[in-house]
């Protein structure tokens, strides 16, 4: 088994690292908040004091962080991942971040004599735990083949989509669907509810109609019963939609539905919903509708 490193042991990263440990790999990890990684120590994780020390101890290093700023913080600098890379090692970045940043870091990794893959994932904690996570991978295909067995210990579907940065771009293209579909679903439910159809009944009908999707099948019911643990917050969705629009601007691609969705998510954040499940866009739609009704009276 390869000596693996893992930087960023939050909800997603921690559960992915747990699968690697369960598969028999030796995993050295780092998390800015040490206490959040404590549960992995019993599973065999060895904690280090910096991303650099993780990279120095590993042949394949993963990172999973919240955003582009967090990625720079763990990848660059004297204590960062890149500073600790060994010649021939592979750095696999799993986060949802800027494609331009991925390309920039890939050049630094190459200069260090290592290789980088951007391999963001599609799925949730439940998907990880079920072993059904999927990867969209950017980077050298030969490097991907070298580490494919390790990725298969995490999830069964691995799709190579092009050069460095293309995996990150594909992830943004995927996540904008989550945002736009969630908003459209909320509008459908709100229209039905305003017409006297109970919300739960409207959700039931929509999820058994031709408009249902795998994503809506587990996010749709959250409009009726929000989850105890936030799966995808308004703040994170707003970040991803913003990245998608930035990438679209660089590519001269118009994304009108995504732009409208970003405005609604920004409204949600302004209303105090930033750390709530992204299904809170329904509450924004409802509040805006109620305000319109008051203005008409």
Tokens coding 238: 């707003």
Over residues 43-85, the pLDDT tens digits come to: 999 999 999 999 999 999 999 999 999 999 999 999 999 999 9
Over residues 2-31, the pLDDT tens digits come to: 799 999 999 999 999 999 999 999 999 999
pTM over 0.85: yes
Domains and their CATH numbers in the chain? 3-162 (3.40.50.720), 170-296 (1.10.1040.10)
Give me the pLDDT at residue 125, please. 84
pLDDT tier at 263 (50, 70, 90 boundaries)?
Answer: very high
What is the rounded CA–CA span in Å between residue 109 and residue 193?
Answer: 53
Selection from 119, 117, 50, 47 nearest residue 83 by Cα: 50
Average pLDDT, the chain: 94
Selection from 206, 196, 120, 200 nearest residue 161 by Cα: 120
Give me the pLDDT at residue 294, please. 58
pLDDT tier at 296 (50, 70, 90 boundaries)?
Answer: low
What is the rounded CA–CA span in Å between residue 272 and residue 102?
Answer: 32
In total, the chain counts a number of residues equal to 297
φ/ψ region of 272 (left if φ > 0, alpha if ψ in -120 to 50, else beta) reads: left
Over residues 146-197, the pLDDT tens digits come to: 999 999 999 999 999 999 999 999 999 999 999 999 999 999 999 999 999 9
Over residues 191-238, the pLDDT tens digits come to: 999 999 999 999 999 999 999 998 999 899 999 998 888 889 999 999
Give me the pLDDT at residue 79, please. 98
Q: Minimum mean pLDDT among 103-107, 168-172, 255-259, 288-292: which range?
A: 288-292
Residues 125-151 as b/e (b if ≥16 CB within 10 A, e otherwise) read: eebbeeeebbbbbbbbeebbebbeebb
Give me the mean pLDDT over the 250-274 stretch: 97
Q: Is the pLDDT of residue 293 over 70?
A: no
């Amino acid at each position: 088994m390869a000596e693996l490193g893992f930087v960023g042991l939050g909800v997603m990263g921690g559960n992915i690292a747990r699968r690697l440990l369960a598969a028999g790999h030796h995993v050295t990890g780092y998390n800015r908040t040490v206490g959040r990684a404590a549960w992995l120590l019993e599973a065999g994780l060895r904690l280090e004091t910096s991303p650099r020390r993780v990279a120095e101890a590993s042949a394949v290093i993963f990172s999973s962080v919240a955003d582009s700023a967090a990625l720079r913080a763990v990848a660059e600098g004297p204590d960062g991942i890149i500073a600790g890379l060994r010649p021939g090692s592979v750095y696999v970045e799993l986060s949802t971040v800027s494609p331009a940043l991925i390309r920039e870091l890939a050049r630094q990794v190459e200069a260090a004599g290592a290789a980088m893959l951007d391999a963001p994932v599609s799925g949730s904690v439940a998907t990880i735990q079920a072993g059904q996570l999927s990867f969209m991978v950017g980077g050298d295909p030969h490097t991907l083949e070298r580490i494919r067995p390790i990725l298969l210990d995490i999830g069964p579907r691995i799709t190579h989509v092009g050069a460095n940065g293309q995996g990150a771009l594909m992830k943004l293209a995927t996540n904008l669907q989550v945002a736009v579909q969630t908003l459209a679903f909320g509008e459908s439910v709100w229209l039905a509810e305003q017409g006297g159809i109970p919300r739960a009944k409207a959700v039931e009908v929509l999820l058994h109609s031709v408009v249902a999707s795998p994503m809506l099948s587990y996010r749709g019911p959250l409009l009726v019963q929000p989850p105890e643990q936030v799966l995808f917050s308004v703040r994170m969705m707003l970040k991803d939609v913003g990245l998608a629009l930035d990438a679209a601007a660089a590519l001269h691609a118009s994304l009108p539905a995504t732009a409208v969705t970003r405005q609604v998510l920004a409204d949600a954040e302004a209303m105090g919903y930033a750390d709530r499940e992204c299904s809170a866009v329904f509450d924004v739609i409802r509040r805006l509708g109620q305000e319109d009704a008051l203005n008409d009276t």
